Amino acid sequence: MENIWEKFKQNEQINSLLTGFRAGVKIQYLSGSLLSLQRMVMAYLRRETGSPVLYIVENQLQATKVREDLATFLPQDKIVIFPPLEVLPYEVIARSWESRSQRLSVLNGLIKGEDLVVIAPIQALLTKLVPAEMIKKMSFALKVGACVELEQIINDLLNLGYERVEMVEAPGQFSVRGGIIDIYSLVFPLPIRLELFDNEVDSIREFDPFSQRSLTSLTEYLVFPAEEGVFSPVSEGKAKQLIRQDLNRAMDKLSKSRRKSARDKLKNKIEDVLRQIEEGLYFPTLESYLSYYGDLVSLADYFPENSLVWVEEPLRVREAMLNWQREVAETHLNLLKEGMALPKQIERYFMEDNLSWFFQSKPAILSSFLTQSVPNLTINNYVNLTSQPVISFYGKLDLLWRELSLWKERQYKILIIASTEERANRLAELCRERNIFPILAEEISLPIPDGSVLIAIGSLSAGFNLPDLRLVIISDGEIFSQVKKKRLVKKSNKQGMAITRLEDLSVGDYIVHETQGIGRYLGVETLVVNGVKKDYLHLKYANQDKLYLPVEQLSKIQKYVGIDDSAPKLSKLGGTEWLKVKKKVKKSVEDLAAQLLKLYAARETITRPGASPDTVWQKEFEDAFPFTETPDQLQAINEIKKDLESNKPMDRLLCGDVGYGKTEVAIRAAFKMAMDGKQTAVLVPTTILAEQHGNTFRERFKDFPVTVEVLNRFRSPKEQKEILAKLKTGAIDVIIGTHRLLQKDVKFKNLGLLIIDEEQRFGVSHKEKIKQLKTNLDVLTLTATPIPRTLYMSLMGIRDISIIDTPPEDRFPVQTFVVEYNEGLIRDVILREIGRGGQVYFVHNRVQTIDRVVAHLQKLVPEARFAVAHGQMSEDDLEQTMISFLEGKQDVLVCTTIIEIGLDIPNVNTLIVDNADQLGLAQLYQLRGRIGRSNRTAYAYLTYRRNKAISEVAEKRLQAIKEFTDFGAGYKIAMRDLEIRGAGNLLGAEQHGHIAAVGFSLYCRMLEDAIRELKGEEQKVQIEPSVELAVDAYLPEDYISDNKQKIEIYKRIADAQEVKEVEEIYDELIDRFGDLPEPAANLLIVAKLKLLAKNLGITQLSQEKEVVVLKFQQADFLLQADLPRINKKYRGKLNFLPGKIPACQVKVKGMDSSGLLSFLEEVLTDFIGSGDLTGENEFYLEKEK
């Protein structure tokens, strides 16, 4: 009994390739095979030899397909893609880190000698690389126990392209805090924390970039470059000399052709570059000048001599290479004329018509279905391996059983590759029903008896038949017509992001104080008050009034966030103005809470027959979904099904970004209703969304007896009449439409489910009609705007909300570039996207000049077809334009930010934003979200115009959008802004003013309190003890210098509810910042004392010279405590004072700060242990013991 690999061993042609490779035959050619078989043969050679492989393909899309096929035959962790560098030969000041990380990880793996299979689109190989020896030389190892110089490490990291920041959050960053250095490499999954003791490496620990806490200890760590363009500083002198020579030649040429402005531009630009080289540190555009530093090499040079180079479809690869070379040459020529480049810069790219440069003396195999002659290559061995395609069954299983029976009779080995375990089990079940008993396996290497079927899990682009070997392989794509793609789901971290975190506070931000109102934050100041040094927040109020807020009261303030960007009015300190504002908002919040609870209660009283459990068809329909569902999707689907099957009408809100899979959830709900003979109405705000949903629903229902129609004003009167008649008789199961569905002539036979997409975009009159329609119906409302977690928690129990926030993993991340506006770049980018059959968004956010921009672009790219869209167009014109663009009648849509409102056009995969520094981060985030909705790499170009004197504001904006490419702070701000917008949408426009009056965070808290009160839930009043001791308790500047991180720590200390939390903060501070100085240690002990006091009912703990007075809220403690035992232990140091406000005097004469705090901690712990108090007290005692 053989497996398929043993079958391959019996084949003469395959063995000929293997023998040729082992003998070092230069170039072999495999023909006659389908693509999937070519890939399988390569996998066989790899399995037999263990050699590293460089697999060259035409483009990124093919690279992905190759990886999916190879992952079925080889270990997944060894198969990697080497993506191309984009935007060449333009200079980029920032790019998203994902593709950099992929490229550097591949180079790191090859340098370490890992036996990788590297799949590379030809464009990725055309940019020459720094030699592996140089990267080895520049990388450096850190070992525990080794002696190092801090300044040298900082210098080396900057030379390797790392960016110095206050707190490490994204790959390519490092930070320094005293003797602690955090480094986030692009080639390792986690950042590391290096702790020095004097000049010795004391420890190296991996840490979590989200929690900032240490994880695993390491003994050594290799610091690999954060950029590819690194060269030894020794090369700088030579580089400067060559650049200067090239500059002089270029300037002479420009002078002769009378291009004075271009010459001056070039001189200024290159002098700036030479200055940066002189400084001796890495700078973002250095990679453009690598050809001046020394010899550059091919990726093949990184592979050992025993490696195999495989070129799939060599003529297509060559054509892609020549196109790219032409594009680079043309662009470079234009840049030379404009004074934007030097002549020798083009030497960074391979510009010859010769594929053998990519082999670098390594054995190569070319493969294609037909034998083709490849220019400049001599083939040493031709091999023809004939294969036949497998027919597609399109779900016609009778045809499949017939073919399987034939192959079984001929004693074929039959391998069926199913994309998921569910599909494999389903196929096995169907086979057994036909008396075919397959072997089920997780991978394909299991032996298969002749005339038997093996079903294994994997992915294959197409099946094939090898008659000579009596072997047939079928993919589930041929059986079901759709391949179900496997998805590796990463947990989204967006859910855990607090939207009003105080650590995001910057000087100048507005804050809300619970009792003092809206002020402005002016920074943290260390003040000495009554001889005690502490940190205070400096807050400014109306009339230039100041408030210094002790950091221990941080829990009383929140960062002010309103619905829009308008600045709030500052409150007056003292007086009744703020109280009146809060009273007004409280009344509104109570009304809203009452209204929500009333709706909820009313809904609870209505009953209707529940939907039937899932049918077999429902299972088959859901199995036909071509992707693996995300956990969030599955949860939402289950919640909706539970609602539908219950006897109460559903009213659920489903939140999730465009493309996160909300529509599929809605489709499954509609299918479930159709199986019960009920109709579904899908109400959308625009005609174009109706058309899009119509196409999506029809495509999903095409193999099932579910009828879908679209009703909108683009249907003729005759068509509308026919649709309405069918709807009334029940001949239509799902009707999709705009507000046309709300008109009186629309009658249903048995409407069961109403799906509303983006309800907030309907007008007031339409919303009223929707309310009337909702009665007794199951209602599912979809929204693409994220909902803040705080609001979600407030509404739990009175509003059913499902959230999908796991992004689809089968998409490539959008490659984002921040680049100076250049007409050559714009032309190249547009033509490149059109060249791959795609479309482009060009965002110019000024309606007054948009027509002029279109006219200019038409001259710049006459090959492209342009359309214009902006908010001042009539609704008819706008919809006609968008539908025309959706249908592919234009290549480029020049538009304002109008496209941020949820269009889903998968064919648009390039976004160009003109003057990106003029837009907000939330807008940029949403604009970027409009692309990258298919299996192609998407590109976002955020352009800016360089002025001679760039303003400080513009510089800050540029820095912000640079951060935005790395999902750092900018990403969080964008998400927060969007979530606030989502909150406004959910709560209704009438609440916007109230949110603006008190800020979002306080509003949510007031809403939560109002709901609890109306529900009759007990509201606990928390004691907040006041602690005033003559000890310095603060975080010194030389311990934590960054105010944002300082406020974060202060906020967490103030918010701590248990001693355990304070102890965790203590451990974290040591982990992140090193040993605590005395004032910082005091701060944490004071926090502990406050929690112990709170637990004992102590309202005040204050020092008066040599006595600390503890004031109790009530006498319970004194009545219950074992006072004789306590008095005996402390021998007259305690003096209990009964009375209306019981108190205890603690004598602390002669104690220093440390002794005082330790003594008070001991006393309070003893108090907790001595009385018959709550379980909480026992908990505290346990912790203290």
Whether residue 576 lies inside any domain: the answer is no
1017 or 448: which carries more pLDDT confidence?
A: 448
Verify that 74 and 165 share a domain, yes or no. no
Indicate whether 954 pLDDT > 60: no
Verify that 118 and 144 share a domain, yes or no. no
User: Do 982 and 499 form a contact (C-beta atoms < 8 A)?
Assistant: no
Q: Is 345 helix (H, G, I), strand (E, B) or coil?
A: helix
Verify that 764 and 665 share a domain, yes or no. yes
Domain end (from 944, 979, 1008): 944
Tokens representing residue 522 in the block? 């002016």
Indicate whether 504 pLDDT > 80: no
Q: Of 499, 502, 568, whose CA–CA distance to 540 is shortest?
A: 568
Neighbours of 92 (CB within 10 A): 20
Q: What is the pTM of this model?
A: 0.78
Whether residue 702 lies inside any domain: the answer is yes
User: Do 688 and 903 form a contact (C-beta atoms < 8 A)?
Assistant: yes
Scored b (16 or more CB within 10 A) or e, 440-478 reads bbeebeeebeeebbbbbbbbbebbbbbeebbbbbbbbbb
Assign 967 a pLDDT band (cuts: 50, 70, 90). very low
Pairing between β-strand 1026-1028 and β-strand 815-820 as defined by DSSP bridges: unpaired
Whether residue 929 lies inside any domain: the answer is yes
Q: What is the pLDDT of residue 887?
A: 87
Q: What does the mean pLDDT of the chain come to?
A: 85
Tokens representing residue 1119 in the block? 């009545």
Whether residue 61 lies inside any domain: the answer is yes
Handedness of CA 656, 661, 664, 665 (dihedral sign): negative
Averaged pLDDT for residues 1149-1173: 82
Indicate whether 1089 pLDDT > 90: yes
> What is the share, in percent, of the chain residues with pLDDT greater than 90?
41
Verify that 153 and 34 share a domain, yes or no. no
Alpha-carbon span 955 to 656, nearest angstrom: 33
Verify that 355 and 441 share a domain, yes or no. no
Domain end (from 892, 909, 944): 944
Averaged pLDDT for residues 424-451: 87
Q: Return the HEC string of 837-897.
A: CCEEEEECCCHHHHHHHHHHHHHHCCCCCEEEECCCCCHHHHHHHHHHHHCCCCCEEEECH
Domain end (from 913, 944, 975): 944
Q: What is the pLDDT of residue 481?
A: 63
Averaged pLDDT for residues 1099-1120: 82
Alpha-carbon span 552 to 532, nearest angstrom: 14
pLDDT tens for each residue of 1138-1147: 777 888 899 9
Query: Structural domain of residue 658, as residue ranges?
Result: 614-787
pLDDT tens for each residue of 636-675: 999 999 999 999 888 888 887 767 788 999 999 999 999 9
Whether residue 1090 lies inside any domain: the answer is yes
Tokens representing residue 215 in the block? 């994880």
User: Do 465 and 387 form a contact (C-beta atoms < 8 A)?
Assistant: yes
Verify that 377 and 470 share a domain, yes or no. no
Verify that 178 and 161 share a domain, yes or no. yes
Indicate whether 1182 pLDDT > 50: no
Assign 376 a pLDDT band (cuts: 50, 70, 90). confident
* Highest-scoring range by mean pLDDT, 237-251, 334-348, 473-487, 854-868: 854-868
> What is the share, in percent, of the chain residues with pLDDT greater than 70?
88
Residue 167 belongs to domain with CATH number: 3.30.2060.10
User: Do 1044 and 166 form a contact (C-beta atoms < 8 A)?
Assistant: yes
Pairing between β-strand 751-757 and β-strand 679-683 as defined by DSSP bridges: parallel
Assign 619 a pLDDT band (cuts: 50, 70, 90). confident
Verify that 766 and 852 share a domain, yes or no. no
Tokens representing residue 665 in the block? 């959830």
Alpha-carbon span 658 to 783, nearest angstrom: 9
The residue count for the chain: 1185
Alpha-carbon span 1176 to 1092, nearest angstrom: 10
Assign 497 a pLDDT band (cuts: 50, 70, 90). very low
CA 332-337-338 angle, 5° bins: 95
Burial of 562 (0-12, 13-18, 19+ CB in 10 A): buried
Whether residue 154 lies inside any domain: the answer is yes
Verify that 378 and 454 share a domain, yes or no. no
Q: What is the pLDDT of residue 673?
A: 95
Verify that 654 and 767 share a domain, yes or no. yes
Residue 917 belongs to domain with CATH number: 3.40.50.300
Indicate whether 1164 pLDDT > 80: yes
Q: What is the pLDDT of residue 964?
A: 58
Whether residue 812 lies inside any domain: the answer is no
688 or 78: which carries more pLDDT confidence?
A: 78
Verify that 104 and 198 share a domain, yes or no. no
What's the number of domains the chain is made of?
Answer: 6
